[in-house]
Amino acid sequence: MDTLIIILRFENGSIASISYFSNGSKALRKEYLEVFSAGQTAIIDDFKELRIYGKKLKRTRLLSQNKGHKKEVELFLKSIKYGKPAPIPFEDVYLSTFATFKVIESIRTSKTVNLPKITKE
């Protein structure tokens, strides 16, 4: 059984909580994302529905699930073909991978791991 909760604290005071549970019902939608900012809340439910709560509720239902993988690969291949920058900058790919390795380190050592301050130039 794989279950994991990751808490990321950012210098600006923001907090991210990532929960992964493999012990739930298979009938439940898999990905669920909530973002809270400036008095609004956005919820993406299994990449099939987007709800934005603010002064008014805005709801968008998608006809099919779209996680963006196909588009990302398409844009990446176009960037190679036409010699343009990758759709996701290398720095962002590096930093997210680095953070992932630090999560693994934290799991192995059972200790909080601090990331070094990294500034993008």
Asked whether residue 85 falls in the same domain as residue 60, the answer is no
Task: Report yes or no on 73 lying in a domain.
Answer: no
Distance of CA 104 to the CA centre of its chain: 17
Instruction: List the alpha helices (DSSP H) in 1-121.
Output: 69-82, 90-109
Instruction: For residue 30, name the pLDDT band (cuts at 50, 70, 90).
Output: confident
Asked whether residue 30 falls in the same domain as residue 86, the answer is no
pTM for this structure? 0.69
Token reading at 60 = 């968008």
Q: Which residue has the higher pLDDT, 1 or 101?
A: 101
Range of the domain at 109: 78-121
Identify whether the C-beta of residue 40 lies closer than 8 Å to the C-beta of residue 52.
yes
Task: Report yes or no on 72 lying in a domain.
Answer: no
CA distance 83 to 89: 14
Asked whether residue 12 falls in the same domain as residue 33, the answer is yes
Helical (H) or strand (E) element with 121: none
